Structure 1
């Protein structure tokens, strides 16, 4: 059962978190390009936002199966796992509270952008939050592989 839970957990990470990180990372630069050139189709921003939002919801499976796997391995109280849970929670909060709302704000303000594109700071702020989101997931990935102090044989 542990191998099944671990396989589902890893697949959920690849299939859910991967698309969120890519789409969210592409959004700020794409928003700047669309704002700079009105001939560009802004629909691509809608698609990137939808991918970020939908796959974030699917990503709920990651901690669910991660905790189930950790429970079956008996490592729920391990420091590396607790740190991973905290970092995952921070990444989820960042996505839900800062990244997705800012994407939505950019989509809403893009048609009537009131500042010159060079002075538009929203994409830069979004890029910063998205970079932090990606760094949090990179740290979690390293912790899942290295598992410092783990007795499970890493």
Structure 2
């Protein structure tokens, strides 16, 4: 059972978390393109790439909790749920997931609905800039976990 859970945990992280982290990181740059596209008349710029990134972020974000859930089941199967590194990994994962769900995804949606010119990107840019924090938290989970086996 443990090899199955470990494989599921790793695959969920790669297939769901990885794309969400990448699209979340790429979105802020394209938010300015969306803003400029609203004022472009020749049609060279398009909001479609930013909309695609938001869709990927949203859909993969729904599936991403599979990785920590399977990881928690694996920790239970190995009787390691109370170890400090497991508890820290779960806390960091919850923080990153909370930032993504409560700040980044709504910020992306608002940026797509009400674009402003790229010179005046306001608090939305700061919220969207949380992407590196989210990626850093998930990286810290993996580095922390690998260093204490």
Report the TM-score when normalising by structure 2. Answer: 0.90
Report the equivalent of 2:144: 143
- Distance in 1 between the 2:11 and 2:145 partners? 14
What CA distance in whole angstroms lies between the structure 2 residues aligned with 1:143 and 1:5? 20
Q: For 1:1-154, what aligned pairs fall within 5 Å after superposition? A: 1-37=1-37, 38=40, 39-110=44-115, 113=116, 116-122=117-123, 124-147=125-148, 154=149
Deviations 1:57-113 (A, max 9, x none): 111211110001111111100001101100000011001100000000101112xx3
Give the aligned length.
144
8 A contact 1:102–1:122 mirrored in 2: no
| Alpha-carbon distance, 1:36 to partner | 3.0
Question: What is the CA-CA distance between 1:123 and the residue it aligns to?
Answer: 5.1
Give the CA deviation at 1:121.
Answer: 2.4
Note the residue ranges of structure 1 that are not aligned, 5 or more in a row. 148-153
For structure 2, the 5+ residue unaligned runs are none
> Is the 1:28–1:126 contact (alpha carbons within 8 Å) kept by the matching residues of 2?
no
SS in 2 for 1:102: helix
